[in-house]
Structure 1
Amino acid sequence: MLRDYYGNETSVASQEALDHYDVGVRLFLGAEFGATEAFQSAIQLDDGFALGHVALARSLMMSGQMAQAKAAISHAEGLSLKLDHRQRQHIECFALLFSGLPHKARALVKRHVQDYPRDALVAQLCSNVFGLIGFSGEVGREAELLAYTSALLPHYGDDWWMTSMHALSLCETGQIAESSRLMDQSLALNARNANAAHFKSHAQYEAGETTAGRNYLNNWLTDYDDRGVLHGHLCWHAALWALHDGDEAAMWDAIDTGVGPNAAKGLPINVLTDTAAILYRAELAGVSVAPERWSALSDYATQFFPETGQSFADLHAALAHAMAGNGDQLAHISDTAKGFAGDLVRPAARAWQAIARQDWAGALAELVQVMGSTERLGGSRAQRDLLELTYANVLLKLGQTAEARRSLTTRRPVLIGAAPLAAFHP
C-alpha cells in the first residue's frame, strides 16, 4: 500500500494519483489556490480513490461549492467499506462535518488524531480559530486549541504547516515572541504558506508593530492569487493596518479591491464579517462611511445568511442590519439567534440596534451581557477587538472615560495607545 506525504498508508491505484493528492494537500494546508484542481486530477486518475474524493469535498467546501462538496463526500462514503480503519474513520470525520454535526465531528477528530496524529487533513479540522475548536462556542477554546496543537507538534518535526498552526495557538494565548519565532520558521520552510503569513500579521498586531506589519503583508500579498481562500481576509488585515496608520486612502483601496462584497472571492462568512468589522472600526475612528456601503452589506447578509445559526456571522450580520437601518432583519436575529453562541448574539444584536439610535445606556446594558465571554463568539483576538472597541466607545459616549481606559488597559492593553477611537479625542 502506498503512503502519502505524511506517511499514512493510503488505498490508491497509482503513485501518480497519490502525487496529485499530495500536491493538493500541500496547497490546501497552505491556503494556496489550486488544491481543488489537484484533487480533481487525482480522482480522474483513480475514481476509486476514496480519500481523494474526501479531500476534493473539503476543498470545494472552502470555496463555497457546497452542493458539489456534498456529492464528493457521498461518493467517498460509498467507497469506504473496502478501506482500513484509519481511512474509514477519516471519511467519517468529514461526513459528520458535512452532516451539520460539528460537536460530534470535533470529538471524533480528537480521538482520531490520538491514533493517527499525522493524518493532516483530519487534524486540520480542529486547528485554527475557524476550526471545530475555534467555533465550539465554549469558554476556554483558546487554551483547548493550544493543548491540541501542543500534543500534535512533536509528531510533525519541522513541518511548515503544523509549525504555523501551533504558532497561532501561541499567539492567541499571548505568547507572542515564541509565536513569531515559529511563524518565521514556517515561512522559511514554505514562503507561500498563506496561513503563516496570516498568523504573522496577527502576531505583529498583538505586538503593536503597525509599520512592520503593514510593510510585510503588503509585500507578501503581491504574489498571492486573489482566488486563494485567505486573500480577502488578508486584505482585511491590510485595511486594518492602514486604518491604524491613519492612511484612509489605502484602507478604502484594500476594502474595495479585496474585502467587500464586490471584490472578494472568498467565503461569504469572511466577506460579511471582515467588511462589517472594518466599516465599523473605521466609523469608531472617525472615518465617514457612506450609508450605501452599509445597505449593500445588509443586503449581502440577507442573501447569504437569511437564517441564524452561525454565531460569528450572525454577530456581524446584526451590525450590518443595524447600521443600514434594516430593522426587520435585525429583529429576526435578535429574536431567533441560535447556534454555538446564540445566547450572546441576541444581546449583541440589541446593542447594535441601541447604538444605531445613539441609545448609549441601552447599548451598555446589552453589551455587559456579552463582554465576559466574547471568546465564545469565535474569531481571533484581533477580530473580537470590534467588541472591545465598541464597548469602550459606548463608555466614552456616556462620559465614563476612566472606565473606558481601564477596560482597554486590563482587557486589551495593545489597543490603549494605538487603536483609532475618535471618542478619546472629542
Structure 2
Amino acid sequence: MALKDRYGNPVSTGSAKAVAAYDRGVEMFLSDRWGAGAVFEEALAADPGFAMALTGLARAQATDAPLARQTLARAEALSDRLDARERAHIGILKLVLNGRAAEARDAVKVHARAYPRDVMIVQLCGSVFGLIGFSGRAGREAEMLDYVASLLPHYGDEWFIHTLHAISLCETGQLDRSLAVMERALAQNPLNANAAHFKSHALYELGETRAGRQFLDGWLSGFDPRCALHGHLSWHSALWALFDGDIATMWRVLDDSVAPGGSQGLPINKLTDTASLLWRAELAGVPVPPDHWRVLSDYAARFFPDPGQSFVDLHNALCHAMAGQGDRLARLAENPGGFAGDLVPPVAAAFGAIARGDWDSALGALVPALAQQERFGGSRAQRDLLELTYVAALMRTGRADEAARTLRLRRPVIAAQLAGPVTPG
C-alpha cells in the first residue's frame, strides 16, 4: 500500500521515516516556523529520491531563487517514477520559480479542484501576498475568498484552512467572523505565525489598538527573529505603538526588527514595511531624519532595481521621492511594468509632487491610483498608506472638512483612531 502524507496525498517513497519528516516540514513551513528546510533535509536523508521532500526544500529555499530552482530540478528528474499529482505539483512550482505568475495562478486553481488537499500548492493562492493577491486584478479580494471557500468542504476543522479562511474574511470586511475563525486556528496550532499575523489584521481593522499590542507583543516574545514573518509582525507592533502615541517604542521596534540592518526577514518586507512606517510617522507629525529615506532609497535601488513588482514599486516611489532621488523616481514613472504597472506613474507623480511641496498636484495624481488601489496587492492595512496620503493632501490644501468626510467614508476605523494621540499632518 502506498504511503500517504498527513493530508492523505499518496507519495512516491517507501520510507515512513521520510514521510514523517516531510509532514513536520510542511507544518513548520505553513506555520512560518524556523527550520523547515532542515526538516525537509531530514526527509531526504531517509530517502534521497523523495521528490516531495525536494519540492518542500525548494519552497524553503525560495529566497535564493537559483538554489531553489536547482533543488526543484532534482525533483523534476524523478518525474518518471511519480504520479500525476506529484508531477503537476512540480510543474506549478517551476512556473512560480521562473516568474510565470499568471500561468501558475491558473494552474493552481485547476490543481486545487483535482487535489484540494495538496496544501503546499493550494496555499499559493490563499494569502494577500499569493498568486491571487498579487494578480493586479480588480476584485481580487473577493476572488481569494471564493477560492478559499471552495476548499472548505475538503478540510473540516483544520488549522490550515481556518488560517486561509480568516484572512480572506478579514480582507472582505467580515471582521467578527474572521476573528472567530482565527482564534480557532490559533487554538489548534498556537505556533502558527500566519494565524497570529492575520489576527493582527482583524484587530487592526476593528480599531483594537491596545488589544492588538497586548496580543502581538506577547506572541512575538517567543517567535524566532529568523522567521520570515518576524519583521512584518514587528511592523504591526510598531504601527500600533505609533497609533498609541508611544513614539519611542515605535522607533525601537523599527530599528531593531523592521528596517534593513535590524530585520532578518525578506527584502520585500524590509523595504515596504519600513517605508510605510516612516511615511505614516511623518503624516502623524513625527520628525523623520532625512538619512532614513536616503538609506532606504539606496536599499530599494539595490534589491529592486527594475520596475515590475507593483506593490514594491509603490513603496519605491515613496522612498526615492522622499530621498530626493529624481532619476530613480523618473525611471519608475517612465518604465512601469508588473501586474498594476499602469498605477505606478500617477503614484510616482504624486510622491514627487509631495516632495516638492506641491500638494495640489499630488491630490490630482492620487485619484486614479486610489480608485483602484486594491490592484497594488497587499492588505487593506498596508494600502492605508495611500488612503492617508490622500487625506493629508486634502488637509494641506485647505480641505479639512472634505478630508474628514473622506476618511469617515473610506476608512472609518482609521478616522476613529486618528481622533486619538496622532493626526495626519
TM-score, normalized by the shorter chain, greater than 0.5: yes
The structural deviation recorded for 1:150 is 0.8
2:53 is matched with which residue? 52
1:34 is matched with which residue? 35
Aligned partners of 2:383, 2:395: CA distance in 1, in Å? 19
Aligned partners of 1:348, 1:421: CA distance in 2, in Å? 28
1:57 counterpart letter in structure 2: A
1:208 is matched with which residue? 207
Q: Residues 242 and 250 of structure 2 are in contact (CA less than 8 Å); yes or no, is this contact kept in structure 1? A: yes
2:353 is matched with which residue? 354
Query: Percent identity of the aligned residues?
Result: 53
Is 1:317 paired with 2:316?
yes
Is 1:281 paired with 2:242?
no
Do the aligned partners of residues 74 and 425 (structure 1) sit closer, same or farther apart at CA in structure 2, a change above 3 Å counting? closer
Aligned partners of 2:380, 2:228: CA distance in 1, in Å? 20
1:20 is matched with which residue? 21
Aligned partners of 2:372, 2:260: CA distance in 1, in Å? 30
Do the aligned partners of residues 186 and 424 (structure 1) sit closer, same or farther apart at CA in structure 2, a change above 3 Å counting? closer
Is 1:237 paired with 2:217?
no
Is 1:334 paired with 2:333?
yes
Q: Residues 347 and 369 of structure 1 are in contact (CA less than 8 Å); yes or no, is this contact kept in structure 2? A: yes
Do the aligned partners of residues 420 and 83 (structure 1) sit closer, same or farther apart at CA in structure 2, a change above 3 Å counting? farther
1:168 is matched with which residue? 167
Aligned partners of 2:309, 2:44: CA distance in 1, in Å? 32
Where structure 1 has 5 or more consecutive residues not aligned to the other structure, the ranges are none
Q: Residues 364 and 394 of structure 1 are in contact (CA less than 8 Å); yes or no, is this contact kept in structure 2? A: yes
Q: Residues 298 and 324 of structure 1 are in contact (CA less than 8 Å); yes or no, is this contact kept in structure 2? A: yes
**Paired residues for 1:363-378 under 5 Å:** 363-378=362-377
Do the aligned partners of residues 310 and 422 (structure 1) sit closer, same or farther apart at CA in structure 2, a change above 3 Å counting? farther
The structural deviation recorded for 1:249 is 0.5
Aligned partners of 1:403, 1:207: CA distance in 2, in Å? 23
Aligned partners of 2:245, 2:234: CA distance in 1, in Å? 16
Do the aligned partners of residues 330 and 92 (structure 1) sit closer, same or farther apart at CA in structure 2, a change above 3 Å counting? same
Aligned partners of 2:83, 2:101: CA distance in 1, in Å? 24
**Paired residues for 1:187-206 under 5 Å:** 187-206=186-205
RMSD over aligned Cα atoms: 1.3
1:33 counterpart letter in structure 2: W
Aligned partners of 2:316, 2:3: CA distance in 1, in Å? 47
Count of aligned residue pairs for this structure pair = 424
The structural deviation recorded for 1:151 is 0.9
2:171 counterpart letter in structure 1: E
Aligned partners of 2:423, 2:166: CA distance in 1, in Å? 34
The structural deviation recorded for 1:88 is 0.7
The structural deviation recorded for 1:45 is 2.2
Aligned partners of 2:72, 2:315: CA distance in 1, in Å? 30
The structural deviation recorded for 1:421 is 9.7
Do the aligned partners of residues 3 and 425 (structure 1) sit closer, same or farther apart at CA in structure 2, a change above 3 Å counting? closer
Aligned partners of 2:424, 2:332: CA distance in 1, in Å? 33
Q: Give CA-to-partner distance per residue, 1:263-315, whole Å, 9 cap, x none.
A: 11111101100000000000000001111111110110011000011110111
Where structure 2 has 5 or more consecutive residues not aligned to the other structure, the ranges are none
Question: TM-score, structure 2 length as denominator?
Answer: 0.98
2:376 counterpart letter in structure 1: L
Is 1:142 paired with 2:144?
no
The structural deviation recorded for 1:425 is 7.5
Do the aligned partners of residues 424 and 216 (structure 1) sit closer, same or farther apart at CA in structure 2, a change above 3 Å counting? closer
Q: Residues 145 and 165 of structure 2 are in contact (CA less than 8 Å); yes or no, is this contact kept in structure 1? A: yes
Aligned partners of 1:218, 1:158: CA distance in 2, in Å? 28
The structural deviation recorded for 1:420 is 7.5
1:130 is matched with which residue? 129
Point out 4+ residue stretches in structure 1 off by more than 2 angstroms: 419-426
Question: TM-score, structure 1 length as denominator?
Answer: 0.98
Q: Residues 284 and 421 of structure 1 are in contact (CA less than 8 Å); yes or no, is this contact kept in structure 2? A: no
